Amino acid sequence: MPVDVLVGTQWGDEGKGKLIDVLTRDVDMVVRFQGGNNAGHTVEIGDQKYVLHLVPSGIFRKGVKCLIGNGVVVDPIALVAEMENLVSRGVSVDDVQLSDRAHLIFEYHKRADALREAGAKRKIGTTGRGIGPAYTDKAARVGIRGCELLHLDRMENLFREQAARYNQLFVANGVEALNVDEQWTKVKAAALYLQKYVQDTVVTANEFIRAGKNVLFEGAQGAFLDIDHGTYPFVTSSTTTSGGACAGGGISPRSVRDIWGVMKAYTTRVGEGPFPTELFDADGNTLREVGGEFGATTGRPRRCGWFDAVAGRYSCMLSGINKLAVTKLDVLDSFEEIKICVAYDLNGRKLHYMPASVEDLSAATPIYETVPGWNCSTADARSIAELPVNAQKYLRRIAELVESNVAIVSVGPRRDQTFQA
Ligand code: GDP
Ligand code: IMO
Ligand code: MG
C-alpha cells in the first residue's frame, strides 16, 4: 500500500492523534512533517490516556517506525522528557527516528516567543513553545539542525553564537539574559540522549515507500492555522495542509494515495483570531463541557462553535481530502437542534469561500441552516446503520456541503469507538 496523509481541517484538535492510532493498525511507519510540541495529540488506550507532542501517534503499535521529519521543529529537552515519560509507562521508543535536518528549538526561542506576545498589539495566543522564532531562524538561515546533535563541539559554538544574539535582544527589551552555560549543559545532556535516534529520515521514508510498505503522514494543527492559508496572522508558522507532507517529509507528491481530513462535528479554536461560528452562550458551554474542550498542550479552554461548512469546504479543497474522519459526533448527542454554517454574510454579500483578510472574516456573520438533533447517545454505535437517523442525515449533509466523503466516524475517545462509514 502506498502513502497516505492525514491532516486537520479546522483549527487543530480535531482528534488527529486518535485517528492516527486507529489507522496505524495497518501501517508500517508514521511520519510527523511539520509543527513541533505546540501539538497535543491525545490517544486513549484502555484506561490509559497519553498526550503526544513530538513523538508520532503510531508509537503504541509495536514495530511501527515513528519518524520526526525534517519539517518539524524539535525542542530536544522536551523530546527527551516525552520519550522518557513514554518509557516510564512501558511504551518502547526504539522505533523513533529524528531527522538530521529538523531544526531545533532552544530556551531562547521560547523566551523570544513570550517576549513577542507580551509586546504585541495583536497577540496571537501562541502555545509559548518557541515555534515561530524557531521557524524564523530556519528561514533566516541561522537555525541549528538535528545533524549537529552528533557534533557537540560544533553545536556548542553555534548555540553560544545564537544565544548571545538573543541575549542582546532580551537585554534591549528589559528581559533577563539567559545563563548560556546553564542552558548549554541542559542541551548537551539532551543531545547525548538523542544521538542514537538521529537519522536521515528522508532516506528511511523513501526506502519504506519503495519497498511498498504502508506509510502514514501525521499532520499537526489544522488548515486554518496554516502559514499561507490560515487566518493570518493568527496562525502557526508551518504548512499544515497536505502539501506540507512532501516538503516536510522529503517525499514526492507522486507517492501519495489518500488524503485523510479529520473534521470535528462542530468547531473549536484555541488562541486568538477570528472564528465566525463561535458561541458565547449555553450551547458553547455545552460543547466545551461535553467535548472536554481544554487544550491538550496548554490546558487553555477551547473556544467552541457550530460546524462551519465554508471553512470545511475550503480546507477539503486545499488539501484534496478524499476521506473524511468525522470525530466527536457524540458531543452533539444532547442538542434539540443543531446549526450548520452554510455561507457567510459580509455586509450583505454572500461568501462561499474563506476571505483572505481577518478583518473581513471577523466582520462576516454565519448564515445557518438548522437541523434537528437526535437526543440520544451515539457512543455505542459501531456502524452508520446503528446511528440515529438524524445523526446519519447530519453526516450526509456536512459531507455534501464540504464536497468530500465520510470514511470514518468517531463517537468517543477510545479506539473501539470508531467505525467505517
Ligand atoms: P488532536 O490535536 O487533533 O490530536 O486532538 P486533541 O487530542 O488535542 O483533542 C481531541 C480530544 O478529543 C482528545 O481529548 C481526544 O481524546 C478526544 N476525542 C477524539 N475523538 C473523540 C470522539 O469521537 N468523541 C469524543 N467525545 N472525544 C474524542
Ligand atoms: P494540534 O496538533 C490547536 C495555535 C495556538 C495559536 C497559534 C500559534 O494539537 O491540533 P504557535 O505556538 O504554533 O505559534 O501558536 O496556533 N495552535 C494550536 N491550536 N491545536 C494545535 O495543535 C495547535 N498548535 C498551535 O493556540 O493560536
Ligand atoms: Mg491537539
Mutate to test the pocket of ligand 2, among 236, 272, 358 (most ligand atoms within 8 A of CB): 236
| One domain for residues 275 and 363 | yes
411 Cα: distance to centroid of ligand 1 (angstroms): 10
| One domain for residues 330 and 402 | yes
Cell 462561499 -> residue: 352
∠ CA 162-167-170, nearest 5°, is 130
| One domain for residues 11 and 80 | yes
Cell 541549528 -> residue: 144
| One domain for residues 134 and 90 | no
* Cis peptide leading into residue 233 (ω within 30°): yes
Return the residue whose CA atom lies nearest to atom 28 of ligand 1: 413
Mutate to test the pocket of ligand 1, among 41, 240, 327, 419 (most ligand atoms within 8 A of CB): 327
Residues 6+ apart with CB under 8 A from 235: 124, 224, 225, 226, 227, 273
| One domain for residues 9 and 151 | no
**Pocket around ligand 1: residues whose beta carbon is below 6 Å from it?**
8, 12-18, 40-42, 44, 292, 296, 327-328, 330-331, 410-413
Residues 6+ apart with CB under 8 A from 377: 330, 333
pLDDT value of residue 29: 98
Phi first, then psi: what are they for 54, rounded to 5°? -125, -35
**Among the bound ligands, the one closest to the CA of 127:** 2
CATH of the domain at 151: 1.10.300.10
Residues having C-beta closer than 5 Å to ion ligand 3: 13, 40, 296
∠ CA 389-395-398, nearest 5°, is 140
**Among the bound ligands, the one closest to the CA of 327:** 1
| One domain for residues 229 and 305 | no
| Boundary residue ending a domain (238, 259, 280) | 259
159 Cα: distance to centroid of ligand 3 (angstroms): 30
Q: State the alpha helices, DSSP H only, in 320-404.
A: 358-363, 389-402
Return the residue whose CA atom lies nearest to atom 15 of ligand 2: 126
386 Cα: distance to centroid of ligand 1 (angstroms): 21
Mutate to test the pocket of ligand 2, among 126, 237, 262 (most ligand atoms within 8 A of CB): 126
Q: Which residue segment(s) compose the domain that 251 sits in?
A: 3-101+199-259
**Pocket around ligand 2: residues whose beta carbon is below 6 Å from it?**
8, 11-13, 38-41, 124-127, 129, 131-132, 220-222, 225, 236-237, 270-271, 296
pLDDT value of residue 159: 98
pLDDT value of residue 1: 54
Return the residue whose CA atom lies nearest to atom 17 of ligand 1: 413
**Among the bound ligands, the one closest to the CA of 130:** 2
pLDDT value of residue 115: 96
Q: How many residues does the chain have?
A: 421
Using CB atoms within 10 Å of the CB of residue 65, give its burial: 0 to 12 exposed, 13 to 18 middle, 19+ buried. buried
* Distance, CA of 99 to CA of 69 (rounded, Å): 5
Q: Which amino acid is at 116?
A: R
Active site residues: 13, 41
| Number of domain units in the chain | 3
Using CB atoms within 10 Å of the CB of residue 133, give its burial: 0 to 12 exposed, 13 to 18 middle, 19+ buried. buried
Residues 6+ apart with CB under 8 A from 325: 6, 15, 19, 260, 261, 262, 263, 407, 408, 409, 410
| One domain for residues 334 and 391 | yes
Residues 6+ apart with CB under 8 A from 100: 145, 146, 147, 150, 198, 199, 200, 201
CATH of the domain at 82: 3.40.440.10
| Boundary residue ending a domain (259, 277, 302) | 259
Cell 506576545 -> residue: 117
| One domain for residues 251 and 290 | no
Q: Which atom of ligand 2 is nearest to the CA of 300?
A: 26
Element (H, E) at 368: strand 365-372
Return the residue whose CA atom lies nearest to atom 25 of ligand 1: 412
Return the residue whose CA atom lies nearest to atom 1 of ligand 1: 13
Mutate to test the pocket of ligand 1, among 267, 328, 411 (most ligand atoms within 8 A of CB): 328
285 Cα: distance to centroid of ligand 2 (angstroms): 21
Q: Which atom of ligand 2 is nearest to the CA of 126?
A: 15
38 Cα: distance to centroid of ligand 2 (angstroms): 6
Distances (CA, A) of 44 to 54, 174, 288, 360: 17, 44, 19, 39
pLDDT value of residue 223: 98
Number of other CB atoms surrounding residue 110 within 10 Å: 20
| One domain for residues 205 and 310 | no
Distances (CA, A) of 32 to 54, 65, 202: 8, 11, 12
CA nearest to 30, candidates 67, 78, 62: 67
Q: Which atom of ligand 1 is nearest to the CA of 331?
A: 26
Please list the pLDDT of the chain residue by residue as tens digits (421 residues).
589 999 999 999 999 999 999 999 989 999 999 999 999 999 999 999 999 999 999 999 999 999 999 999 999 999 999 999 999 999 999 999 999 999 999 999 999 999 999 988 889 999 999 999 999 999 999 999 999 999 999 999 999 999 999 999 999 999 999 999 999 999 999 999 999 999 999 999 999 999 999 999 999 999 999 999 999 999 999 999 999 999 999 999 999 999 999 999 999 999 999 999 999 999 999 999 999 999 888 888 999 999 999 999 999 999 999 999 999 999 999 999 999 999 999 999 999 999 999 999 999 999 999 999 999 999 999 999 999 999 999 999 999 999 999 999 999 999 999 999 9
| One domain for residues 398 and 282 | yes
pLDDT value of residue 295: 87
Q: What is the pTM of this model?
A: 0.97
SS (H, E, C) 189-201: HHHHHHHHHEECH
CATH of the domain at 323: 3.90.170.10
Contact call for residues 40 and 51 (beta carbons, < 8 A): yes
| Boundary residue ending a domain (154, 177, 194) | 194
Which residues sit opposite 217 in a β-bridge?
5, 31
CA nearest to 378, candidates 251, 290, 284, 277: 290
| One domain for residues 72 and 205 | yes
| One domain for residues 70 and 116 | no
* Distance, CA of 46 to CA of 128 (rounded, Å): 31
